[in-house]
């Protein structure tokens, strides 16, 4: 695949999303009838306060025990095609044989303007990634290199990641609770509904702090 024209989120949209959290975005998507938009709970951040908001740059990786004549070819192409504000999303098809992400790729991705990586599989160089504070979410950690074990075979294609189909340009939101995929066409309605719900949750929280009866507050606001 070649370079595509990336969907770039406007700074004000990123700012609005950054004030939210994965749970309320899931609630918004539930409300719209999209009830399976959170990735598997097994995909976790490498450090507790890792967060990411951006559009998906999708990569498809498969298990491959052969030693490619031109190793990492598609992965390098994908990294060089990254655009400002993108999140690398790697669909690994259940492959847990090696780290398809690592510290040097994190450095390269950040330099290109990427804002995170989500890996349905393993990463390596975890301590270095944590130290550089690049938001990476993965199923686990390994020292194994992907050469002769795994291979990126395509990018800018739909991929399954953590049980969710991710289209190039979908909106990725990740925090400590998990990663949510917002279909690009639903971004505005999801954002507006989530902001409204978050305002309601703040009101309910204040009522709970006053010690009011929980059932009464729920009856009044319908939020829990």
Quote the Cα angle for 83-140-127, to 5°.
75
CA–CA gap between residue 81 and residue 162 (Å, rounded): 24
Radius of gyration of the chain (CA): 19
pTM value is 0.93
| Helix 187-209 and helix 22-31, axial crossing angle in degrees, nearest 10 | 120
Per residue of the chain (224 residues), what is the pLDDT tens digit?
444 455 679 999 999 999 999 999 999 999 999 999 999 999 999 999 999 999 999 999 999 999 989 999 999 999 999 999 999 999 999 999 999 999 999 999 999 999 999 999 999 999 999 999 999 999 999 999 999 999 999 999 999 999 999 999 999 999 999 999 999 999 999 999 999 999 999 999 999 999 999 999 999 999 98
CA–CA gap between residue 38 and residue 40 (Å, rounded): 7
DSSP 220: H
């Amino acid at each position: 695949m070649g370079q595509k024209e990336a969907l770039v989120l406007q700074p004000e949209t990123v700012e609005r999303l950054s004030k939210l959290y994965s749970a309320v975005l899931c609630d918004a998507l539930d409300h719209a009838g999209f009830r399976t938009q959170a990735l598997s709970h097994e995909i976790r951040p490498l450090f507790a306060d890792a967060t990411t908001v951006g559009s998906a740059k999708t990569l498809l990786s498969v298990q491959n025990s052969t030693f490619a004549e031109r190793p990492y070819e598609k992965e390098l192409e994908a990294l060089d095609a990254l655009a400002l504000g993108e999140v690398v999303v790697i669909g690994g098809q259940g492959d847990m044989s090696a780290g398809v992400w690592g510290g040097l790729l994190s450095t390269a991705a950040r330099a290109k303007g990427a804002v995170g990586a989500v890996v349905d599989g393993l990463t390596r160089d975890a301590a270095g990634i944590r130290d550089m504070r690049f938001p990476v979410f993965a199923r686990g950690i390994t020292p194994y290199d992907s050469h002769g074990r795994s291979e990126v075979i395509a990018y800018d294609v739909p991929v399954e990641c953590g049980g969710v189909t991710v289209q190039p340009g979908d909106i990725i939101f990740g925090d400590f609770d998990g990663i949510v995929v917002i279909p690009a066409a639903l971004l505005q309605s999801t954002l507006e509904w989530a902001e409204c719900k978050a305002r309601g949750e703040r009101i309910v929280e204040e009522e709970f702090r006053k010690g009011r009866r929980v059932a009464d507050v729920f009856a009044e606001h319908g939020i829990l």
